[in-house]
Amino acid sequence: MDRTLCGALPSELESFLRDIDERSYRASQVLKWVHRRGVLDPRQMTDIPAELRGRLDTEVPKLGARITDVARSSDGTRKARIALADGAAIETVLIPDDEHGTDQEDEGGDAVGSVPASTPAGREPATGSKLTQCISTQVGCAFQCRFCLSGAGGLVRNLSADEIVGQVHLARETRESGERLTNVVLMGSGEPLANLDETFRAIELLTSPHGVGLSTRKVTVSTIGLPRGIARLGEVFGGSIGLAVSLHGPDDETRARLLPRVGSVPLERVLEALAAYPLPRRRRITIEYVLVRGANDSPRHAAALVRALASIRVKVNLIPFNEHPGSDLETPDVGVVEEFQRVLLGRGIATMLRKKRGADIGAACGQLAARGGGGPFA
């Protein structure tokens, strides 16, 4: 089999088992160990026959990734650095919910298919605080947005679906007792829609009842606005996957200054793709807007943003720039941020200020930097 256990689809594992003269129903047992209990070593799957455990151990590729560091923020956020099999590194962030909730949209009801931390067999998982996990889809990033550390060194390579989903399983060891993973956001390093095939396979595994088991409502893809990728995401998943778009400017000139590598994609095309995205009822596209002092934070920019978004069902997350070493950009004053928000709210656009989480450990928006070493760890 070409895939690791955490990257294989049920049909692929069933086919592999038939090829080695094993009963295909064992696939569901194996996948339950992997995706519900976070056990990636076949030798630890105690209700699987010993002979099959041995064959899985020797004939199925290993993920070859491991957590090398965990940094913990004063606000409860955790950032884990993961060393990949080829020596590259990525980071994933776990953000606990608080009394005010997370930024993820929730249209009522409990989290569907929430994933508990590993618990002993036969024991019900404790109910506790909810977690949102931010996962990466590439090592580095080709787009090199000026406010984001992830692309500072360019793109190293795409992640496989095994490595994308593997972040969820590896990070289980950082969860506190009773914490439940309820949301996954593909907002770490990389551009998910520039890695379409592996991103889509990862989403399938995250939302499959034989995989991680999250509701599609609890998975969000963040993109800098690639029209073809947005269209494909809508086609493949019928609009059920949350869409967040890093706009950061209401016009082509402003976007080109902050996102120089996407300047060739006219904003008009991005907005057309958003308008065509097959949103379910009561859902909205999230517009992510990093506010940078003197670049995109004036009332004029806010009014232009209102006009650009007028025909699209959206909510706006305002993110004051998170400063980091080596950047010449600055965070706007609080009053400037509040005035920008007032303009949007006054024109009827739902607008929230993104709460800064994990900034003291380099885990806030735009601060993930691991590629093969370095990066801020406490």
Instruction: Find the mean pLDDT for residues 313-324.
Output: 91
User: Shortest CA distance to 370 belongs to which of 152, 49, 122?
Assistant: 152
Strand partners, 351: 316
Angle (CA) 210 214 218, round 5°: 160
304 burial via Cβ count (<10 Å: 0-12, 13-18, 19+)? middle
Residues with catalytic function: 91, 365
What is the per-residue pLDDT for 341? 97
* Per-residue pLDDT reduced to its tens digit, 92-147: 999 998 633 334 443 333 232 334 444 333 333 344 589 999 999 999 999 888 88
pLDDT at 115: 45
- What pLDDT score was predicted for residue 324? 73
Strand ranges (E), 247-298: 285-291
Which pLDDT belongs to residue 328? 84
> What is the tens place of the pLDDT at every residue in 266-314?
999 999 999 999 999 899 999 999 999 999 999 999 999 999 999 999 9
Q: How far apart are CA 344 and CA 286, in angstroms?
A: 14
With a cut of 90, say whether residue 354 has pLDDT above it.
no
Dihedral angle, C-alpha 302, 304, 306, 311, nearest 10 °? -160
pLDDT tens digit sequence for 336-347: 999 999 999 999
Give me the percent of the chain exceeding a pLDDT of 90: 74
Residue-range domains of the chain with CATH: 10-59 (1.10.150.530), 73-102+125-361 (3.20.20.70)
Q: Looking at residues 337-364, what average pLDDT do you find?
A: 81
Region 240-252: mean pLDDT is 96
pLDDT tens per residue across span 54-97? 999 999 999 999 999 999 988 889 999 999 999 999 999 999 98
pLDDT digits (tens, 9 = 90+) for 196-239: 999 999 999 999 999 999 999 999 999 999 999 999 999 999 99
Enter the DSSP assignment of 247: -
Q: Is the pLDDT of residue 8 over 90?
A: yes
